[in-house]
Chain A
Amino acid sequence: MPSRDTNVAFVRTEFIEPSPPPSSTQGPVAWMRENLFSSIPYSILTLLSIYFIYTLLAGLLPWLFGGVWDTSSIRECREVIEGTGGCFSVLSERWNQLLFGISYPQNAYWRPALAFVLLFVAAAPVMFPAVPRQLLVFTGLYPFLAFWLIWGGTILAPMVGLLGFVAGYMAFVQLEKTNGFAAGFFGGIVAALIVWLLGGFISGAMPHFIALEAVASRNMGGFMLNMILGTVCVSLSLPLGIALALGRQSDLLIIKWICVVFIEFIRGVPLITLLFVANVVLAYFLPPGTNFDLILRVIIMITMFSAAYIAEVIRGGLAALPRGQYEAADSLGLDYAQSMRLIILPQALKISIPGIVNVAVGLFKDTTLVSVISMFDLVGMIRGPILASTEWNGVYWELWGFASLLFFVVCYGISQYSQWLERQLATDHR
């Protein structure tokens, strides 16, 4: 057997201290070499990209800064502009129609504007844990306040709405203690209905009690309509989606199948079809003479549509949770409602955030589809009254650019918020 003269024994007597990396890997030059010019093909791509960006800006910036803002028609624009420049006068002249629609009373623009500002106050405690919890009271009041501000009329109507919810909740709490969940649930609904019925008579009898000028739903329009539909539908479809996702997982077969059929049916139908149903077909089913608000019908349809998608996203989140989480919650003696609320949903929703935001952003943009059923939202406004007018026929880039900008700001905001939220909730340190 050949012997080796090397000795395998080795004992380390002192440990190596950590030292800084070599200086050639730091500094701006090293950064550029690594990220922009790491090889010849990459350098070519970098130069091509720079050239592309330059051409884009060289076209865009003169158009943007050479534009005119104070003419009264597209013909005047053409006379005034030398070289390139956008005809932005359409925005400065028609901004009110773009934002609020044609028939919203001019002297009441402050009302939706105020409702918009208050929306941030109401959303803050829900979106940011650092905001004082007391503000949640305002969040609860906000829907009724915003309704009163935007639609006007007597303050009694939204107050009755609020009282109905309060009465329903109180009945639920009382009955749940003594008679269980189901009794509380239906008792709450009955109590709310009674309050709404009685309150409806009172507010109907006194239409001028602390009243703002009433604005009919058909007069809502512009970006305001998109915001109303987007906000209401997102905030309604999230809880509905959670309920559907849990229902689909339920052990109760009937509930499970109702949820499955609902989700699969809604997902199998284009939104535009549902909107036509809301606009035209529902009227055949309702007794003649009933005035079932068009915006309300559209809200119901869009909410159902996005709730079905959100339910599927959340189902994915629920499925991604290890079975051990359910078992641990069970083994500690938590009941179904507690384990869902405290253990399962917080984690499943966290996993689902990107998907939910995806649906929310999509939903917000889909609100422009209502222009097809002759509602004058931002897109309907541009396509209809503005582009059809003799003054502004042909101003495409400026109008659609403006519309894109408004939607982009909102959607980008939502997406940034969701990324921030994901970082906030990251506790697993993987």
Chain B
Amino acid sequence: MAEAQMQVSDEVAISIQNMNKWYGSFHVLRDIDLTVYRGERIVIAGPSGSGKSTLIRCINALEEHQKGSITVDGTLLSSDIKNIDTIRSEVGMCFQHFNLFPHLTILENCTLAPIWVRKTPQKEAEETAMHFLEKVKIPEQADKYPGQLSGGQQQRVAIARSLCMRPRIMLFDEPTSALDPEMISEVLDTMVQLAEEGMTMICVTHEMGFARKVANRVIFMDAGQIVEQNEPEEFFENPQNERTKLFLSQILGH
């Protein structure tokens, strides 16, 4: 995707330096250094337990890191609650299990944060919400509850809900892992569309087709550290590290 790579700018969106995290005495993330430029689409792959989810959850402070620094959009992530809230309202996140609010309608799910965090007037928030629901192609479900929707639809609502906050960066934590095979593509299509519009994205996913098509960088993690990163073409055709080769042969073997 040559034209997509051209959209990447020199502006730094996320800068992670020498970041370490422990769960108790277990060293989950080790010396992570990562700079994400605006417009970049990064796919993080790796075996389970390798710390890839933990890494992106550190970026919006759902997990606390104990050493090193994370700077998002120029704001240093510290224990200051104001900084955390600023970063969270700039960074959208989609979860493996969607995490929609089951007691609110689809529309209310989408308007809640803009109304309460951004103080957007309700009417305007609803217009924005409908705009993004149309973009993920489910405006007709606006008045239903999450429990009435299929998994794929729920994940698309979750994406729309994040987009309603007009984030500058989107994080995806295995967005298709909990979906039936038939529904994966509708979610991936939405994500591809988002990437083509120049959104800065970090996706933890096992969808290697998506990585080939959209990513401009693939990162492979194992045992809490970044083992290898490269452009997708090189990464898949010519992996260097033994662990990467093994991983790729296992997931692409079938």
Chain A positions within 8 Å of B, measured between CB atoms, are 322, 324-325, 327-335, 338, 342-343, 346-347, 350, 425, 427-430
Any A CB within 8 A of the CB of B26: no
In the docked arrangement, what's the CA distance between A428 and B104, Å?
10
| Nearest B residue to A343, CB-CB | B101
Any A CB within 8 A of the CB of B145: yes
Chain B positions within 8 Å of A, measured between CB atoms, are 60-62, 81, 85, 88-89, 91-93, 95, 97, 99-103, 112-113, 116-117, 145-148, 161-162, 165
**Residue among A325, A333, A429, A430 having the largest count of chain B Cβ atoms under 10 Å:** A333
Whether A427 lies near B117 (C-beta < 8 A) is no
Whether B97 lies near A332 (C-beta < 8 A) is no
Q: Known A333-B88, A333-B165, A335-B85; judge A328-B103 contact (CB<8 A).
A: no
CB<8 Å pairs between A and B, sample of 5: A327-B95, A332-B117, A332-B161, A333-B165, A346-B103
A331 is contacted by which of B60, B100, B147 (Cβ under 8 Å)? B60
Whether A331 lies near B88 (C-beta < 8 A) is yes
> A367 to nearest B CB, angstroms?
33
Q: Which residues of B contact A333 (CB under 8 A)?
A: 85, 88-89, 113, 117, 165
B95 is contacted by which of A324, A342, A427, A430 (Cβ under 8 Å)? A324
A327 is contacted by which of B99, B100, B113, B161 (Cβ under 8 Å)? B99
In the docked arrangement, what's the CA distance between A343 and B112, Å?
10
In the docked arrangement, what's the CA distance between A328 and B173, Å?
12
Whether A330 lies near B88 (C-beta < 8 A) is yes
In the docked arrangement, what's the CA distance between A9 and B161, Å?
47
Q: Which residues of B contact A350 (CB under 8 A)?
A: 103
| Nearest A residue to B118, CB-CB | A333
Whether B113 lies near A334 (C-beta < 8 A) is yes
Q: Which residues of B contact A329 (CB under 8 A)?
A: 101
| Nearest B residue to A349, CB-CB | B103
Q: Which residues of A contact B91 (CB under 8 A)?
A: 331
Q: Which residues of B contact A342 (CB under 8 A)?
A: 112, 116
Q: Which residues of A contact B99 (CB under 8 A)?
A: 322, 324-325, 327-328
> A226 to nearest B CB, angstroms?
34
Q: Known A327-B95, A428-B147, A430-B147; judge A332-B165 contact (CB<8 A).
A: yes
| Nearest B residue to A425, CB-CB | B103
B88 is contacted by which of A322, A332, A343, A347 (Cβ under 8 Å)? A332
Whether B116 lies near A328 (C-beta < 8 A) is no
Q: Which residues of B contact A430 (CB under 8 A)?
A: 147
Whether A428 lies near B145 (C-beta < 8 A) is yes
Q: Which residues of B contact A325 (CB under 8 A)?
A: 99, 101
In the docked arrangement, what's the CA distance between A334 and B116, Å?
7
B145 is contacted by which of A322, A335, A427 (Cβ under 8 Å)? A427
Whether B100 lies near A347 (C-beta < 8 A) is no
| Nearest A residue to B60, CB-CB | A331
Q: Which residues of A contact B148 (CB under 8 A)?
A: 429
In the docked arrangement, what's the CA distance between A334 and B89, Å?
8
Total A-B pairs, Cβ < 8 A:
69
In the docked arrangement, what's the CA distance between A335 and B112, Å?
12
Q: Which residues of A contact B116 (CB under 8 A)?
A: 334, 338, 342
| Nearest B residue to A328, CB-CB | B99
| Nearest A residue to B100, CB-CB | A328
Whether B165 lies near A429 (C-beta < 8 A) is no
Q: Known A327-B62, A331-B88, A331-B93; judge A429-B101 contact (CB<8 A).
A: no
Beyond A331-B91, A332-B89, A334-B116: 14 further Cβ-contacts under 8 Å? Answer: A325-B99, A325-B101, A328-B101, A329-B101, A330-B61, A331-B62, A332-B161, A332-B165, A333-B85, A335-B81, A338-B116, A350-B103, A427-B145, A428-B147
**Residue among B85, B95, B100, B101 having the largest count of chain A Cβ atoms under 10 Å:** B101
In the docked arrangement, what's the CA distance between A322 and B101, Å?
11
Q: Which residues of A contact B92 (CB under 8 A)?
A: 331
> A338 to nearest B CB, angstroms?
5
B102 is contacted by which of A330, A338, A347 (Cβ under 8 Å)? A347
> A152 to nearest B CB, angstroms?
44
A334 is contacted by which of B95, B117, B161 (Cβ under 8 Å)? B117
In the docked arrangement, what's the CA distance between A334 and B88, Å?
9
Whether A332 lies near B113 (C-beta < 8 A) is yes
Whether A347 lies near B103 (C-beta < 8 A) is yes
In the docked arrangement, what's the CA distance between A427 and B60, Å?
30
> A322 to nearest B CB, angstroms?
7
Q: Which residues of A contact B145 (CB under 8 A)?
A: 427-429
In the docked arrangement, what's the CA distance between A324 and B53, Å?
14
Q: Which residues of B contact A322 (CB under 8 A)?
A: 97, 99
Whether B88 lies near A428 (C-beta < 8 A) is no
- List the 8 shortest-distance A-B pairs measured between CB atoms, nearest first: A333-B89, A328-B99, A324-B99, A332-B113, A428-B147, A333-B88, A331-B93, A427-B145
In the docked arrangement, what's the CA distance between A283 and B165, Å?
58
**Residue among A327, A335, A425 having the largest count of chain B Cβ atoms under 10 Å:** A327
Q: Which residues of B contact A334 (CB under 8 A)?
A: 112-113, 116-117
In the docked arrangement, what's the CA distance between A214 and B92, Å?
62
Q: Which residues of A contact B117 (CB under 8 A)?
A: 332-334, 338
| Nearest A residue to B97, CB-CB | A324
| Nearest A residue to B158, CB-CB | A328
In the docked arrangement, what's the CA distance between A334 and B60, Å?
13
| Nearest B residue to A335, CB-CB | B85
In the docked arrangement, what's the CA distance between A322 and B95, Å?
13
| Nearest B residue to A347, CB-CB | B103
In the docked arrangement, what's the CA distance between A324 and B57, Å?
12
In the docked arrangement, what's the CA distance between A425 and B89, Å?
29
Q: Which residues of A contact B113 (CB under 8 A)?
A: 332-334
In the docked arrangement, what's the CA distance between A350 and B89, Å?
28
